[in-house]
Structures are given as C-alpha cells and as structure tokens.
Amino acid sequence: LPDTEDTGACICDFETFKEIYRVQRGVQVRYGLQVFLAILTVAPSQNTDAAETALMVEQLGDLIHKSLRQCDAMARYSENQYVLLISGNSSAENGSTPLERIKAAFYRIPAHGRYLLSYSLYVPEAKADSGRTRRRKKTAKKEK
C-alpha cells in the first residue's frame, strides 16, 4: 500500500474503529504495547446555538486529528463526542498527555468560553490469554 502524506490520527467510522481497537488489543497482548481508549465530550452552556455547537465539535475533531499520530485512531461517537484509541509510548505513559494537549488547544479557540471539554480515559488491562480460544489437539481414532 502506498504511504500517505497525511499526518495525524486515522479518522474512521465507529464500526471501523471497533475493528482497529480489536486488532490493537491483540498487539497489546502479544507485544506489551500500551493502549489507551478515551472519550472526549463537548458540553455546551445553556445559551449556545446548535449550529455553533456543531462547529465547535467539528473544530475539536480537527484538533484531535492534528494532535495525534498516524498510529492513533479516532471516530465520532455521538453528536458531541469523539472516541480515541491512542497507542502508548514513553511520552504518553499514562495516556493523558495527548488528551491534555488537545484540551489546551481547544480552549484557545475563541468561542471556547461557552463550552466545557472533558475526557474519560480507559486503560485496558493486557491479559496473556485475552481473546484467544484454546483448541484441543485432534487425535485420529485408529481403526481396528
């Protein structure tokens, strides 16, 4: 496959995101790579316009895309939420480092005063047998 020049997180629909998550969990189990799952939520104040809120959520999507790496994935989760899959590295040991960077960039947007950005971070536990099905070795019966 050709390498793309697009830097930033992989943007996909939620169904594709779930498949990427499943694959990354397998990598986590096999190689010990840290994986973080996060949900970012934009909460508008009471006196905000729906069109402005939609614009703020779109701007958040752009910030997420630009702030994360190509090995990370993002998808729209709901009207005011994005779900992220962040592959760990030494600079993001607890997963909150890129999220705090996104949050800081969001609050630099001029209309941010009418919005609250929050996130929830989930660190899936890597289990050695996670997702594997044990198979019994089949033995052929000898005919007499």
| pLDDT (0 to 100) of residue 111 | 78
For the question of whether the overall pTM of this predicted structure is more than 0.85, the answer is no
Q: Tell me the per-residue pLDDT of 44-101, one tens digit each, with 9 for 90 and over.
A: 988 888 999 999 999 999 999 999 988 899 999 999 999 999 987 544 456 788 999 9
Q: Tell me the per-residue pLDDT of 103-122, one tens digit each, with 9 for 90 and over.
A: 999 999 887 788 999 999 99
| pLDDT (0 to 100) of residue 71 | 87
Distance CA 39, CA 7 (A): 21
What is the 3 state secondary structure string of 37-59?
EEEEEEEECCCCCHHHHHHHHHH
